[in-house]
Amino acid sequence: MPLNLTNSYSALGPAFSQQSLPTPVAKPSLLLWNQDLANELSIDFSAEKDSAAIAQYFSGNKLFSGSEPIAQAYSGHQFGHFNPQLGDGRAHLLGDLSDKQGQYWDVQLKGSGTSFFSRQGDGRCALGPALREYIMSEAMFALGVPTTRCLAVVATGEAVYREQALPGAVVTRIATSHIRVGTFQYFSARNDIDSLKKLTSYAIERHFPQLKGVEGEALSGEQIVDFFAAVIAKQVTLVVSWLRVGFIHGVMNTDNTAISGETIDYGPCAMMNHYHSDTVFSSIDRNARYAFGNQSKIMHWNMARLADCLLPLIDEDEDIASAKLAPLLQQFTDDFKQGYFIMMANKLGIAELEDTDHELINDFLGIMAEKKLDYSQSFVTLAENLSQEEVNKVITQVKSPAKGQSAQASADEAGQAQDKWQQWLKRWYIRISADVSGAKDLMAKTNPLVIPRNHHVEAILATSQASYQKNGDLSDLNNFLAVLQQPYTQLDDTHNYQDAPSDGDENYHTFCGT
């Protein structure tokens, strides 16, 4: 048996989940298998030898020994409106397992049939969104963004109906946990303080073992405050990482915000092309609540919702409890701003952020927005064109204006002949002149050469689905994945996926992956 699962979450008791078996599928066949991830988790399967067995297990047709599948309960604010009962309507947590470092991971099937929480839904997932989640999460992982991952995509051999009949699939998601802000809200809405305490202890054990107290002793208010601070720190890192690579989550509801700080729920996500903080692609995000540049504000709002849930665990007096968490919410704003500017400085090759860099960064963003320049390409191009020689030229010009050129003439040149862009370039060159090769190295590490661009993802999904139905050939998808897995290295095929869409994705819309 290549997997021995434990069931730590179902052990929390019936308030937390519903026992629920995956619904078997007609004809499971393995489409994608993440061998690297399988190795990390010591899952002793290989796609060459075991494809039939993998398809059986990771469609839910067969269960691993020890697995007691459950559907987890959670609530959530969806686009600002509270829904007290969401829960896994099309997912089954098979159990958890520990990797070689002792870190525990959830193994969850998605698209594996209905549960107590399905409401009107069919519990299923179409092949397109399953492949999309695999591509996007693997790309994000390779980009260095905290994320849930995909272990497998198995076609079910059954149709799912979404306005039309589509091939169905089950995707296996691996996460350090599936605890969401919405999981806390579920118990908070029911005023179930005991379960809130249990959940917090579990989350501390899983994600922040350094905060653990004495075995058997109740959590102190101080521990809860530390827990909140630790969750906040994870979310700051997460959103800063998203902004580094131009990722727009698209549906940052509190049920899609994991306590672990991993990107979860790839339904309507997209990548930004030309820079604009208002960029939105999700067809259901009509008020641009989850626009690119709004993501830190929304994460702050989501953290405030988590704070609401934790108050009764800190002090009976809500004002006293509030006074302990409010400074941490302010800290979120400050830490985000600091993390963001350090990240942007790094993208410009600046290792140590200085106060004046804020203006340099904002001016560059302003130029990109005004000229509709591609976000990813702009940084890559800056780095490519950066050389000691160019920088020296500019520096000597600045130190000694060309002979015969009066001070007035050079001021005119600065004001008129040179456009904003040239002026900005000069400021940037001066800023990084002390260590040009260091700047270049830093830029190579922080600016991906390739991202999973929307138009390439969609084209690959279209060809993959067509060829899957004809002959099962997924070589285009696998070539794309091979490039996305090394986004900071120029491979032979990288150039095939670097281009921005010719229409700027003006009419591109994403949908929730149902």
Binding site for Mg ion (CB under 5 A): 256, 265
Among 88, 133, 285, 374, interactor with ligand AMP by CB under 6 A? 88
Question: Smallest distance, Å, CB 133 to ligand AMP?
Answer: 10
Closest CB to Mg ion among residues 201, 256: 256
The angle, 0 to 180 degrees and rounded to 10, between the axes of the packed helices 375-384 and 436-446 is: 150
Asked if 87 touches ligand AMP (CB under 6 A), the answer is yes
Asked if 254 touches ligand AMP (CB under 6 A), the answer is no
Closest CB to ligand AMP among residues 161, 469: 161
CA 375, CA 293: separation in Å to the nearest integer? 13
Among 40, 50, 99, 122, interactor with ligand AMP by CB under 6 A? 122
Q: Residue 167: name its binding partner from ligand AMP, Mg ion, none (Cβ under 5 to 8 Å by kind).
A: none
Count of residues near ligand AMP by CB under 6 A: 17
**What is the SS3 assignment for 145?**
coil
Catalytic residue among 96, 255, 265, 357: 255
Question: Smallest distance, Å, CB 288 to Mg ion?
Answer: 20
Asked if 89 touches ligand AMP (CB under 6 A), the answer is yes
H or E element in which residue 234 lies: helix 221-245
Distances (CA, A) of 242 to 263, 269, 296, 344, 439: 9, 11, 10, 12, 22
Phi-psi sector, 484: left (phi>0), alpha (psi -120 to 50), beta: alpha
Q: What x/- string results for residues 484 through 513 when contact with ligand AMP is judged by CB under 6 A? A: ----------------------------x-
Asked if 90 touches ligand AMP (CB under 6 A), the answer is yes
Contacting residues for 253 by C-beta, under 8 A, at least 6 apart: 76, 77, 78, 79, 182
- Whether 176 contacts 209, CB under 8 Å: no
Asked if 267 touches ligand AMP (CB under 6 A), the answer is yes
Asked if 129 touches ligand AMP (CB under 6 A), the answer is no
Question: Smallest distance, Å, CB 19 to ligand AMP?
Answer: 16
**What is the SS3 assignment for 306?**
helix
Question: Phi and psi of 155, rounded to 5°?
Answer: -75, 145
H or E element in which residue 366 lies: helix 357-371
Q: Which stretch binds ligand AMP (CB under 6 A): 117-125, 211-219, 384-392, 397-405?
A: 117-125
Name the nearest CA neighbour of 151 among 48, 46, 249: 46
Give ∠ CA 274-277-279 in degrees, rounded to 5: 65
Among 176, 177, 256, 447, interactor with ligand AMP by CB under 6 A? 256
Closest CB to ligand AMP among residues 259, 368: 259
Q: Which stretch binds ligand AMP (CB under 6 A): 83-91, 142-150, 407-415, 469-477?
A: 83-91
Question: Smallest distance, Å, CB 26 to ligand AMP?
Answer: 18
Phi-psi sector, 189: left (phi>0), alpha (psi -120 to 50), beta: alpha
Question: What is the rounded radius of gyration, in angstroms, for the C-alpha atoms of the chain?
Answer: 25
**CB closest to ligand AMP, residue no:** 121
Q: Residue 121: name its binding partner from ligand AMP, Mg ion, none (Cβ under 5 to 8 Å by kind).
A: ligand AMP
Name the nearest CA neighbour of 237 among 261, 256, 206: 261
CA 510, CA 514: separation in Å to the nearest integer? 12
**Active site includes 419?**
no
The encoded tokens of residue 54 equal 């993998």
Binding residues vs ligand AMP (CB under 6 A): 86-90, 117-118, 121-124, 255-256, 265, 267, 512, 514
- Give the active site residues: 255
